Amino acid sequence: MTWSANQYTKFEDERTRPVRDLLANIPAADAEAAVDIGCGPGNSTELLQQRFPDATVTGLDSSPDMIAAARKRLPGLRFDTQDISSWRDPGPFDVILANAVLQWVPDHATLLPALIAKLGLGGSLAMQIPDNTDEPAHRLMRATASQGPWAEKIARSEPRFHRHGAAWYYGELRDKVARLDVWRTIYHHPLAGAGAVVEWFKGSGLRPFLDPLDAAERAEFLVRYQSGIAAAYPAFPDGTVLLPFPRLFIVATR
């Protein structure tokens, strides 16, 4: 799956607000070693560095384009192109930040204990996962994918999001850490019409649906998708559309 740092940062202020809330709930007052896994273009890494100014902060992401953007943004920090599933650094880390990334990584029952094992005593895994696959925007992605001439092509790519509910994460983690905080927030983003909603998801959830398609197919897919978005999210008289976006937060402290 390909990622575009430029597309992702079109809505940087809106995408950055949840990581601010996540970092504010890490109990540690300071840290020596902190890592941002799935750092994207470095917006979350920058906030991690600000939250823990005395820490050695690093970032990793599987996308070379994202890593290039992060290095340009924060030239004094180390960024590595790395898939989370094959990340072998044993730590120990005082903070592992995973903002809006673990939904792309399978087998959370194995992954999360492995990440917690990289924490030092008192260290925190701070993660945020979009909890919106039942929202109209995501239901329309799946419907558009299954009802067009591209259905078989997209089906072969098997776009999947890996997430569970709050109770599942609490049950999996509560005996593995000393402190566990789980909460869910729905953000409401005012966007400039249905086209802006489409642009938002072109930088995230639409990627696995669009990647298998050629240019003409992508264009037609987006026309159909935007038509559905316009119906699902009625605009205010000035053209503004309010996009509800639920997100699940977890801070697990060893």
Q: What is the per-residue pLDDT for 159?
A: 57
**Is the per-residue pLDDT at 186 higher than 60?**
yes
Least confident of 79-93, 108-122, 145-159, 173-187: 145-159
**Is the per-residue pLDDT at 172 higher than 50?**
yes
Of the pLDDT bands very low, low, confident and very high (cuts 50, 70, 90), residue 4 is very low
- Three-state secondary structure along the chain? CCCCHHHHHHHHHHHHHHHHHHHHCCCCCCCCEEEEECCCCCHHHHHHHHHCCCCEEEEEECCHHHHHHHHHHCCCCEEEECCHHHCCCCCCEEEEEEECCHHHCCCHHHHHHHHHCCEEEEEEEEEEEECCCCCHHHHHHHHHHHHCCCHHHHHHHCCCCCCCCHHHHHHHHCCCCCEEEEEEEEEEEEECCHHHHHHHHHCCCCHHHHCCCCHHHHHHHHHHHHHHHHHHCCCCCCCCEEEEEEEEEEEEEC
Of the pLDDT bands very low, low, confident and very high (cuts 50, 70, 90), residue 92 is very high
pLDDT digits (tens, 9 = 90+) for 132-168: 999 999 999 999 999 999 999 998 875 577 889 999 9
**Is the per-residue pLDDT at 9 higher than 60?**
no
Averaged confidence pLDDT in the chain = 93
**Is the per-residue pLDDT at 21 higher than 60?**
yes
pLDDT digits (tens, 9 = 90+) for 24-64: 999 999 999 999 999 999 999 999 999 999 999 999 999 99
> Domains of the chain (ranges plus CATH)?
5-253 (3.40.50.150)
pLDDT digits (tens, 9 = 90+) for 187-246: 999 999 999 999 999 988 898 899 999 999 999 999 999 999 999 999 999 999 999 999
- Residue 119 identity (one-letter amino acid): L
**Is the per-residue pLDDT at 3 higher than 70?**
no
